[in-house]
Structure 1
Amino acid sequence: MNPNSNTAAAPAARDAEAALIADIAGFSRDPLGFVLYAFPWRSAGTALAERDGPDDWQRDILRAVGEGLMTAGEAIQVAVASGHGIGKSALVAWLLLWSLSTHEDTRGVVTANTDSQLRTKTWAELAKWHRLCLCKHWFTLSATALYAAQAGHEKTWRIDMVPWSERNTEAFAGLHNQGKRIVVVFDEASAIPDQIWETTEGALTDSNTEILWLAFGNPTRNSGRFRECFGRFKHRWRHRQIDSRSVRITNKKQIAQWVADYGEDSDFVRVRVKGQFPRAGSMQFIGSDLITAAIQTEARSFAHDALVIGVDVARFGDDQSVIYARKGRDARTFPPIKLRNVDTMTLAGRVAEEARRLKADAVFVDEGGVGAGVVDRLRQLNVNVIGVQFGAKADGLSPTDAVERYANKRAEMYGNLRQALKAGLALPDDQELIADLTNIDYGFNARDEIQLEKKEEMKKRGLASPDLADALALTYAYPAMAGAGAGRHLGGGGGGRLVSEWDPFG
């Protein structure tokens, strides 16, 4: 290893650098030794002053990688399914820094389930540990790469952050580094498509090369290649399932609350706490296949279809208020209106304007928190508004053939929306809406009722509040009938009665 050195440096500095190079080189097959040596554990005045090293499970994985390097000719494939908050991003950062620091001209790729996860979680954690590393001056960290500072090695000695794309798999097909070291990391691997796994597997065929393929994530899907690392292909992978309760750094109070809310044996706790795969299907409430079909579906509506508006009211500075209009199976023709940093009176005025312009038959508003003020003002403006409490009891207004039972009104509305998607609802090709709809996970409470992941929990996962999806789901809060806006009042949160038995999915 020949990092840049200052030719004018004092002999003592050169000697110290030479000693550092020799020490780090000694850890080429000892990731755990590198981690214990390269970071200032228990050093006063540092971010690690109160920590004495990796957790037990992290030490086990680091040892497993080191042991795998002793087996010539075989790729080291490690899969870790875990609960929430166990420190997997830190482990990813350590392994990346170790792999670069202990083998000249190492090449690698890091990807994740979403671009947001990759940038705000995986890469942000790498930046943190790079700053703490004894040999940080050997490498330059950019927004998308960590590469050697030594001149002439910038393109051959590097790790790149690469968002996956099913239409563009070249980054994963070109992972060749004959005779040296290759590292591939899949973060939140459950949501990475099989095509990317297959392309990567086909690329990792170089002989006489150290190959590390590391897959981490919550086990949110009961199918796909990540699941198969623990099933059909488990003989190829060193696999571990980590219960969050067994890890020192996890928030035990939060975990206990999840267990109380969803039940010890619920799929939510299995996935988010125990690191176990759900019993069947996926924890994703609305599947990507439904969204893809809805984008390709022709937008159609009829004269007898009611035009309804859903309004999600922002509560925090980084959220947005959304006004979403839908007519029958057409949720595409009227673009949703997205508003940030508006007060409740301004929002109510804009909603009233849209309701009159579109001759809306009903306006459903999230009445929780500050939304109550919007509902009150709309009633003053003589708008046919119905307040909806997301946390209220489900009303049983799902399609007659639905077998699901819902824990609250929000889950029921999303259940109605999912049924509508199955029946041919047309959606716009709006990436923000797509992300909102597909990011929401679910579980079951103690009464075996469907309960959606809370917005607060989504934010802890680095996801945005699903404001667009909530506004669309609100249009399925209660049935409506064309002409109901002409001075007639609907039932539900507004306190009246239903004016029709209109089927919102028909």
Structure 2
Amino acid sequence: MGEGSFPEHWVNLLLGCAHDPLRYTGLVFPWGDGVLRGVAGPRAWQREVMKTIGAHLSDPATRFTPCRIARASGHGIGKSALIAMLVKWGLDTGVDTRIVITANTESQLLTKTAPEIAKWHNLSLTRDWFRATATSLVSTEPGHDRGWRADLVTWSVANTEAFAGLHNQGKRIILVFDEASGIAAKVWEVALGALTDAETEIIFLAFGNPTHNTGPFRECFGRHRHLWNAGQIDSRRVEGVNSAYLDELVATYGEDSDIVRVRVRGQFPSASSMQFIESSLVEAARARPANALPDEPVIFGLDCARFGDDRSVLAIRRGRDARSRPWQSWHHLDSMTLAGDVALAAQKWRPDAIFVDAGNIGAGVVDRLRQLGVGNVHEVWFGSTGQDALWAGDVRVKTANKRSEMWTHLRGWLPGATIPDSDVLAADLTGVEYGYAADQVSILLEKKEHMKRRGLASPDWGDALALTFAEPVMPRVNGWPADWQPQPSVRKLTAREEWYETYKDLGVEM
């Protein structure tokens, strides 16, 4: 087993943990030292899952039936850490074990799940038994590299071969779905059909935030619950979590809001999905031909960068056309330079209104634009009181703040509209989640800071487009902005004519 300098009795000790993942973790990881200083072992909920697996494999009546475990939870409870520990246990204690791990998105898989697996692999005493790559752990035992391994696989509805081919007769198979709520039903269907080998240890783990109220992950807790060991975990009851962040979510959105239900309580949302803008709306707007009427106003929306990797973005919209006039973005630009560039854009496109995010450097940008003589500049405060906004068709809804109001107008505008064919913009528009304010009526968008906690970028492009809906803007007159109306040519009066205009009421004649 590539045991290297390990004494034979120690290797046999590990092999004796084939049906006891909890005991295994106590042997191979340096609890209390280094990055695990102050940590005595797995968290309580992690130990409970390990005991469930151990009990299933130890019982001759269940050992060769699929062990299906599903956990829906809030943020920060250590799902990826548990996955990593179980991957190591599965490989180290079962010769020629096959493991496949996937996630809701490639980004989640490669930036969250994969690094966690690599971290725990490097912490383990058995790290020399397997060779780590960016997407796999492969046995170093000669002749076993093809069949004794763990692979991180991105899924596609059109390409499910990696799951259909998951067979390992007479040995061990582990299938892991991370952030399982976002994995397509077709992938679940193919994976379940593949887990049919006889006399084989089969473990299927499905973990994640319960973001969708329908689909296979939801059914693990509903009509298929008799097949699964399913549980829902409130993050606030887990040791070692970021309590301040969880308390902030509750204070911001309310205990019964969908955001708190999903991100804190591990409960499925009351709505079918928390995604504010459907992907189909965005994709249709990317592909639709541009079309604008000549009397529709040109509107600038300027989202000003706050810090770090955020960008300042200028969106330009005319009616339902947000594509024909190219957008601009800047990185690490001071307010004076940013204002100068926007002033140049205003000279070119003659906007009827410029709406600027006034937070942070935005206030300075507004002041500088006005100093430069740029007209129609309006500051917008995202946290100010929201008004009723157009949701879809003729339906209007209440909104909790100005940002939620603007995004709701944006959502209602998208059908029939055109946007830039940009992956960045599409990700911004589809990444934002929503819930309801404490009144349970007003729409409340997820904060930028909370999106970043979920691993998403600040939606700077989406906010820039939303800013073009900050206030109603009057249509143009004969295709010209109100303050750029061409004036008729007027001949200057001569001195005698001016004298006559002054005194004509006295009856004088020229």
Q: By how many angstroms is 1:256 displaced?
A: 2.1
The answer to whether the 8 A contact 1:29-1:66 is kept is yes
Give 1:369 deviation, angstroms. 0.8
Counterpart mapping for 1:182-261 below 5 A: 182-261=173-252
Match of 1:32 among 2, 15, 22: 22
Percent identical residues? 52
Change (3 A) 1:4 1:29: closer
Q: Distance in 1 between matches of 2:159 and 2:85?
A: 28
- State how 1:290-305 maps to structure 2 within 5 Å: 290-305=281-296
Distance 1:460 1:215 in 2: 21
Contact 1:4 1:151 in 2 (8 A): no
**Residues 4, 149 of structure 1: 8 Å contact kept:** no
- Counterpart pick for 1:277 among 268, 284, 295: 268
Q: Distance in 1 between matches of 2:159 and 2:365?
A: 45
The CA RMSD measured in Å over matched residues stands at 2.0
Equivalence for 2:40: 52
Structure 1 segment 429-468 matched on structure 2, within 5 A? 429-448=421-440, 449-468=442-461
Deviation at 1:172, TM superposition (A): 2.4
Contact 2:389 2:398 in 1 (8 A): no
Give 1:350 deviation, angstroms. Answer: 1.9
Distance 1:388 1:470 in 2: 11
Contact 1:307 1:482 in 2 (8 A): no
Map residues 129-168 of structure 1 onto 2, 5 A cutoff.
129-168=120-159
1:386 aligns with 2:378: yes
C-alpha displacement of 1:4 = 6.1
Give the whole-Å Cα distance in 2 for the aligned partners of 1:313 and 1:403.
Answer: 29
Other-structure match for 2:53 = 65
Q: Residues of 2 paired with 1:333 and 1:4: CA distance?
A: 64
What CA deviation, in whole Å up to 9, does each residue of 1:411-435 have, x standing for no partner?
11111111112x3222333222222
2:356 paired with 1:368: no
Which residue of structure 1 aligns with residue 483 of structure 2? 487
Distance change >3 Å, CA 335–CA 162, structure 1 → 2: farther
Query: Which residue number in structure 2 is paired with residue 491 of structure 1?
Result: none
After TM superposition, list the pairs within 5 Å mapping 1:394-413 onto structure 2: 394-396=386-388, 398=390, 401-413=394-406
Change (3 A) 1:365 1:101: same
**TM-score between both structures, scaled by the size of structure 1:** 0.89
Q: 1:397–1:478: 8 Å Cα contact kept in structure 2?
A: no
Partners of 2:340 and 2:281 lie apart in 1 by 34
Shift in Å, 1:405: 1.4
Shift of 1:257: 2.4
Counterpart AA for 2:42? P
In structure 2, what is the Cα distance between the partners aligned to 1:472 and 1:170?
40
What do residues 332-365 of structure 1 show as CA deviations (whole Å, max 9, x unaligned)?
A: 3334322212221222222222222223222211
Report the Cα distance in structure 1 between the residues aligned to 2:309 and 2:191, rounded to whole angstroms. Answer: 36
Distance 1:474-1:82 versus aligned 2 partners, 3 A rule? same
Deviates more, 1:334-343 or 1:317-326: 334-343
Q: Which residue of 2 aligns with 1:3?
A: 2
User: Where does 1:303-314 land on structure 2 (aligned, <5 Å)?
Assistant: 303-314=294-305
Q: Give the CA deviation at 1:315.
A: 0.9
Does the Cα contact within 8 Å between 2:389 and 2:408 map onto a contact in 1? no
Q: Deviations over 1:64-84 (max 9, x none)?
A: 122222314321211110011
Quick check: 1:362–1:485 contact (8 Å CA) kept in 2?
Answer: no
Q: Which amino acid aligns with 1:239?
A: A
How big is the shift at 1:454?
1.0
CA radius of gyration, larger in: 2
CA distance in structure 2 between the aligned counterparts of 1:164 and 1:427, rounded to whole angstroms: 28
Amino acid at match of 1:451: L
The yes-or-no answer on 1:119 pairing with 2:110 is yes
Cα-to-partner distance string for 1:116-136 (whole Å, 9 max, x where unaligned): 222221111112211211111
Give the Cα–Cα distance (whole angstroms) in 1 for the partners of residues 452 and 278 of structure 2. 20
Deviation at 1:261, TM superposition (A): 1.9
| 1:330 equivalent among 321, 337, 351 | 321
Q: Return the match for 2:469 from 450, 462, 476.
A: 476
> Judging changes above 3 Å, is the alpha-carbon distance between structure 1 residues 326 and 51 closer, same or farther for their aligned structure 2 residues?
same
Structure 2: how far apart are the matches of 1:63 and 1:270? 27
Verify: 1:426 aligned to 2:426, yes or no: no
Cα distance change on mapping 1:204 and 1:357 into 2, 3 Å: farther
| Pairwise CA distance, 1:328 | 1.5
Q: CA deviation at 1:464?
A: 0.9
C-alpha spacing 1:172/1:331, structure 2 compared with 1 (3 Å) = farther
- Mark the CA change 1:346 to 1:171 in structure 2 (over 3 Å): closer, same or farther: farther
Name the CA distance, whole Å, in 1 between partners of 2:343 and 2:156: 41
Q: How many residues get paired?
A: 476
CA deviations 1:68-104 (Å, max 9, x no partner) are 2231432121111001111111111111111111111
Deviation of residue 166 (structure 1)? 2.5
Whether contact under 8 Å (1:3, 1:150) holds in the other structure is: yes
Report what 1:492 is aligned to: none
Contact 2:3 2:11 survives alignment (8 Å): no
Q: Which amino acid aligns with 1:385?
A: V
Give, in whole Å, the separation in 2 of the partners of 1:247 and 1:307. Answer: 51
C-alpha displacement at 1:466, in angstroms? 0.9
User: Distance between the aligned counterparts of 2:377 and 2:157, measured in 1?
Assistant: 43
Q: CA deviation at 1:139?
A: 1.1
Distance 1:353 1:56, change over 3 A: same
With normalisation by structure 2, the TM-score equals 0.89
Task: Work out the CA distance in 2 between the residues paired with 1:4 and 1:23.
Answer: 12
Contact 1:80 1:216 in 2 (8 A): yes
Contact persistence 1:130–1:136 (CA under 8 A)? yes
CA positional deviation for 1:151: 2.9
CA distance in 2, matches of 1:112, 1:299: 36
Q: Which secondary structure state, in structure 2, belongs to the residue aligned with residue 250 of structure 1? A: coil
Q: How far 1:253 moved relative to its partner?
A: 2.5
- Which residue in 2 is equivalent to 1:98? 89
3-state SS of 1:32 partner: helix
Bigger mean CA offset, 26-35 vs 289-298:
289-298
Q: Deviations over 1:360-381 (max 9, x none)?
A: 2222111111111111122223
| Structure 2 unmatched ranges of 5 or more | 485-510
SS in 2 for 1:274: coil
Question: Shift in Å at residue 397 of structure 1?
Answer: 5.1
Contact preservation (8 Å) 1:364, 1:386: yes
- Please give the alpha-carbon distance, in whole angstroms, between the structure 2 residues aligned to 1:63 and 1:335: 58
Question: Which residue, out of 164, 174, 196, partners 1:173?
Answer: 164
2:329 aligned partner, one-letter code: K
